[in-house]
Amino acid sequence: MSISETITKHKKTKFNVSTIGENLSDIRKGLWILALPAVGEMLLNTTVGMIDTAMVGRLGKEAVAAVGLANRLINIILGAFMAITIGTTAMVARYFGAEDQKKAADVLRQSIITSVLFALILGIPSYFLAKPLMKLVVFTGDNLVFEGAATYFRVMAASFIFLFLNLTASGALRGAGDMYAPLLVVSLTNIVNLIGNYFLIYGHGPFPCLGIYGAALATLISRAVATLVYGYMLFSGRGGFRIDWRGGIKLSKEILAPVFKIGIPAAVEQLVMRGGQFAYYFIIISLGTAAQAAHEVAINAESISFNPGFGFALAATTMVGQFLGANKPDLALRSGKEAAKIAVVMMTLLGLCFFLFPAFFVKLFVPNDQEVIDLASMCLKIVAFSEPFFAIVMVYAGALRGAGDTLAVMVYTIIGVWFLRIGLAYLFAIVLGFGLEGAWWAMNIDIVARCILLWHRFNSGKWRELTI
């Protein structure tokens, strides 16, 4: 049975590698089936994120700065939770590949319980210590920015329980091969968030004008809606899960040990990456307002190219995990390589567009400030050279996570981000005086170095021998 026939037959779009032969065209079809919904989800998140920022932006630059700074700290906190999300995805993929849905459901049940515990452990202190925590990231001395950031962060801390459950559910469904469920949920909840923003930020209709608090509240409500939808999906058997709650809420070391064996290095990797981005950002801030604004604009413009890399990275995670579970390591290797090839082609084309028409992308965000336009355009031209390398970084990192080889990804991230990106950014931008241009060349060097390391690790095939 071909991949297309399988998807037509299974109404819930459950993907399973047992339907794939050794034909390369089947592998490619499978990758596209898995990747397209993820690309759509990323595109939707990117677009809605821009609209969300614009809606908050109408409150003034202080509001934008407050939300941005609060989100930087939230992203670091979320890095710790990746231990659950990535470990769950990898183990569920393994068990579905081995056609052991019971163990996959047991992993999901245990991960849900652990998610609630993580939400309480991280959420409660964050809620009550919002102001002290915001003092760690708000250095401007602007009281409006500080108060706004603390308000936003406090409400986001209250939403952790919904967010963590949502990430666990979406990770499990992706591991099971159901990429459409997260896309559907994201579509619905982003609509809820935008509607909530309209009424709660500005006070339309019977609602009061709540400003930043309203934006945070809209996000909390949208995450609660997502939790309800995911709950309905999973308890109705979406993705092939049949969760048995007769085992109670007692944590099982036997079930969770492999989840954390994969997940803890992945969480450290995420913390290293996000902490490194934070440190890198402070180097950019020291270069002045124009450089900081140009950096933000260029990063937002470049994020357009992340979509195919993100989609095929998730596809590689699922396919590699399921093929290994099905005891087909050679097909796991081939699927990772094919995912990387497709992503390289797509991101290279986008990189070419960045190089040839940088001002077009920059002016989508800053139409009038010529100094920022020139600086951001320079950044896009620089990063255009690293797009094919970044495609390999994203996909092979995803493939290795699916194989459970998260320790290698963690080590390479530490080397690339902290030793190369941050070290060279300080050297080029500050010591040698190359400014923003030097900082972005440092980022390119980091990406190329990690590409070489990940390429060698994946193609060595050592991950095929890992036991979980």
Q: Which of 60-69, 323-332, 380-389 has the lowest mean pLDDT?
A: 60-69
Q: What is the pLDDT of residue 7?
A: 36
167-180: average pLDDT? 92
pTM: 0.85
State the Cα–Cα distance between residues 254 and 257, nearest whole angstrom: 6
Confidence band of 240 (pLDDT split at 50, 70, 90): confident
Please report the pLDDT score of residue 3 as a whole number.
36
CA atoms within 13 A on the CB side of 41: 22
End-to-end C-alpha distance for the chain, whole angstroms: 31
Tell me which of 57-66, 201-210, 269-278 is least confident.
Answer: 57-66
∠ Cα 89 451 319 (to 5°): 30
Higher model confidence: residue 370 or residue 52?
A: 370
* Higher pLDDT among residues 131 and 240, named by residue: 131
Answer whether residue 4 shows pLDDT above 80.
Answer: no
Percent of the chain surpassing pLDDT 70: 92
Mean pLDDT score across all residues of the chain: 87
Nearest to 323 by CA among 334, 312, 310, 314: 334
Asked whether 391 and 348 are in contact (CB, 8 A), the reply is yes
Compare 246 and 413 and report the one with higher pLDDT: 413
Distance CA 85, CA 82 (A): 5
Is the pLDDT assigned to residue 164 strictly greater than 90? yes
Predicted confidence (pLDDT) per residue in 7-57, tens digit? 334 444 556 666 666 678 888 888 998 898 988 887 777 676 667 767 777
- CA atoms of 354 and 362, how far apart (whole Å): 10
The angle at the Cα of 353, spanning 336 to 451, to the nearest 5 degrees, equals 35
Phi, psi of 452 (to 5 degrees): -65, -45
pLDDT at 49: 64
- The torsion angles phi and psi of 15, rounded to 5 degrees, stand at -95, 140
Work out the angle between the directed axes of helices 61-97 and 160-175 (0-180°, nearest 10): 40
